[in-house]
Amino acid sequence: MQEYEFDCPDCGQHIEVNDPMRDAILTNGCPICSTAVTAEDFVDG
């Protein structure tokens, strides 16, 4: 399963996520501050 590093553009939260978590964050926003994010906020881990 692909791993990604996520950096929230608003609150700066940094977490490592897998594909399902990435999809959920893209749909629902940052899990900490709910800011909308884009695929550009993820990099391959």
Which residue range forms the structural domain that includes residue 14?
Answer: 3-44
pLDDT tens-place string over residues 19-38? 999 999 999 999 999 999 99
In the structure encoding, which two tokens stand for residue 27, read together? 């749909």
Tally of structural domains, the chain: 1
Residue 7 has pLDDT above 90, yes or no: yes
pTM above 0.85, yes or no: yes
Residue 1 has pLDDT above 90, yes or no: no
In the structure encoding, which two tokens stand for residue 13, read together? 């939260």
pLDDT value of position 20:
97
Which SS3 state, helix, strand or coil, does residue 12 take? coil
Asked if 3 and 19 touch (Cβ cutoff 8 Å), the reply is no
